[in-house]
Structure 1
Amino acid sequence: MERRTTAPPFTHHDPELLTAALAELPGAAVRAFTDSWDDLPADSHLGTAAPYRFRRYGRFRLLGAGGTGPTALEPLPHAPFFQDRSVNKVHGGVHRVFAPLAETVAAGPALRTVVRTLLDHLPGPRAGIDTCGVHQIRVVATPDAEGHPAPEGVHRDGHWYVAQVLLRRDGVHGAESRLYDLDERLVHRATLTAPLETIVLDDRRVLHGVSPVRPAPGARRGVRDMLLVDFFPSDPTHDTDPGRA
């Protein structure tokens, strides 16, 4: 099949993209969504004496993703999160069990709105995509212990597209997002600072990493809250070449 010119492998969106979408919802629904990051249990897979990352995870079928109407989210049974060692040299090959998303988040209008909006702004074709994984993550840092958003370093996640949405950045120094081509040459760097600022990347065409989180000068604790959404097909045999029509 003949290749066609592809879109750039990532997009970096100002907060207005998701702010405008969420403005259609009642303020209480949005606040319940953002406040839910205060109820994330510790990630038990870090292997550190004190936890610095807190996390929940859920999976959804994207109903109607290829149609003209709105996309609905159908929760899938809770399951461990797995990445191959070829894409995650720290935690790859391990079925990591994270706490499920709270029901109010999984069934709430805010998550549905955010996922629909991100799906409409993927940096490439979305044919075949019918599933997403949703990660709520908080990384904390103190003067005695920095936090690591990406302990695996420069990596891929093993999906088609990955959206990275900042929810909160309080008392934080560092946490610079960096994107690389497949030869590990830096192609983009940015520090997400405004709530709902977003990077959406093609995980097959770029690598990514995040520098450590440290407390800002004078802060006793730094907190960085992120929403990550992975988009992929449920059929692993689907053609994953983003350069094909």
Structure 2
Amino acid sequence: MTTAPWRLPAPSAGPAGPFTRLGPEPLASALAALPAGAVEEFTASWDGLPADTHLGTDTPYRFRRYGTFRLREGLLERLPHSAFFQDKAVNKVNGGVPRMFAPLTDTVARSAALRTLVRALHGRLPGPRTDIDTCGVHQIRVTATASAEGLPAPEGVHQDGHAYVAQVLIRRQDVTGAESRLYDPARRLLHRTVLTTPLEAIVLDDRRVLHDVSPVRAAPGAVVGVRDMLLVDFFPGGGD
């Protein structure tokens, strides 16, 4: 896959502590300079996500695309598509298995909305950003019906195996549940919240906190409930 750089704004100083909870305003403000159509096209792309084939369930409830990028000297550069891998120590369900997810579409990977959000999140990492020059981008949809809940985190309380992880709500429609919870290394609860408004986010230091999300359930009377998330993993890439 050919890499393609795009120029990015400089990051701002990040907050202190092992995690930060963002209301919708910081990311909405970052996107405000873009045409409304660009943001709408970006969020609408969750409607076309293919099923996650690594769930091991007869009926899919999670839909996903993935891509990686290098952030260097103000540039966001798309890297060749590759499998997503987590060690068994951090993911007891799918760890140790290279998972090849469908790639981000070219439209999403090149979008001004994506690069704006990635840079805004990079500027709010809860700790040093030195050498944090690479990111993995996940578009994820979890669905639920009256007869079947969806599991955003089937592995339970866990770490992702990265330096930092940003969790951004894109859409929440006709669902209940999906409470996000953060824990210290001794698994003592640090924070719990439900992301309800688009562009609300949690940015955490994956080395200092663990996290999980409770099941997504369809709201009473709903045929299908939907929870769309943008996840961005930040880590050192080690140059070329």
- Give me the CA root mean square deviation: 1.1
The equivalent residue for 1:33 is 42
The equivalent residue for 1:210 is 213
For the residues of structure 2 that align with 1:137 and 1:150, how far apart are their CA atoms?
11
The equivalent residue for 1:130 is 133
Whichever residue aligns with residue 99 of structure 2, its letter is R
- Do residues 105 (structure 1) and 114 (structure 2) align? no
Whichever residue aligns with residue 161 of structure 2, its letter is G
Matches within 5 A, 1:63-212: 63-64=72-73, 71-212=74-215
Q: How many residues align?
A: 225
Whichever residue aligns with residue 184 of structure 1, its letter is R
- Do residues 61 (structure 1) and 70 (structure 2) align? yes
Deviations 1:149-192 (Å, cap 9, x if unpaired)?
A: 00000000000000000000000110000000000000000000
Instruction: Give TM-score, length-normalised by structure 1.
Output: 0.90
Whichever residue aligns with residue 29 of structure 1, its letter is A
What SS class does the counterpart of residue 100 from structure 1 fall into? coil
Whichever residue aligns with residue 95 of structure 2, its letter is G
2:31 corresponds, among 18, 22, 30, to 22
Structure 1 consecutive aligned stretches of length 4 or more whose deviation exceeds 6 Å? none
For the residues of structure 2 that align with 1:82 and 1:145, how far apart are their CA atoms?
28
- The CA deviation at 1:216 is 1.0
For the residues of structure 2 that align with 1:7 and 1:105, how far apart are their CA atoms?
31
Structure 1, unpaired ranges of 5+ = 1-5, 65-70, 237-245
The equivalent residue for 2:61 is 52
The equivalent residue for 2:8 is none
What SS class does the counterpart of residue 167 from structure 1 fall into? strand
- The CA deviation at 1:7 is 2.7
What SS class does the counterpart of residue 44 from structure 1 fall into? coil
For the residues of structure 2 that align with 1:28 and 1:118, how far apart are their CA atoms?
22
2:21 corresponds, among 3, 9, 12, to 12
Instruction: Give TM-score, length-normalised by structure 2.
Output: 0.92
Whichever residue aligns with residue 35 of structure 2, its letter is P
- Do residues 223 (structure 1) and 226 (structure 2) align? yes
What SS class does the counterpart of residue 99 from structure 1 fall into? coil
Deviations 1:185-232 (Å, cap 9, x if unpaired)?
A: 000000000000000000000000000000011212110000000000
Whichever residue aligns with residue 20 of structure 1, its letter is S
Whichever residue aligns with residue 44 of structure 2, its letter is D
Asked whether the 8 Å contact 1:72–1:112 carries over to 2, the reply is no
* Bigger shift: residues 189-198 or 227-236: 227-236
For the residues of structure 1 that align with 2:238 and 2:30, how far apart are their CA atoms?
30
- The CA deviation at 1:235 is 2.7
Asked whether the 8 Å contact 1:131–1:234 carries over to 2, the reply is yes
Asked whether the 8 Å contact 1:148–1:211 carries over to 2, the reply is yes
For the residues of structure 2 that align with 1:221 and 1:41, how far apart are their CA atoms?
17
Structure 2, unpaired ranges of 5+ = 1-14
For the residues of structure 2 that align with 1:149 and 1:210, how far apart are their CA atoms?
6
- The CA deviation at 1:234 is 1.0
What SS class does the counterpart of residue 42 from structure 2 fall into? helix
For the residues of structure 1 that align with 2:149 and 2:220, how far apart are their CA atoms?
13
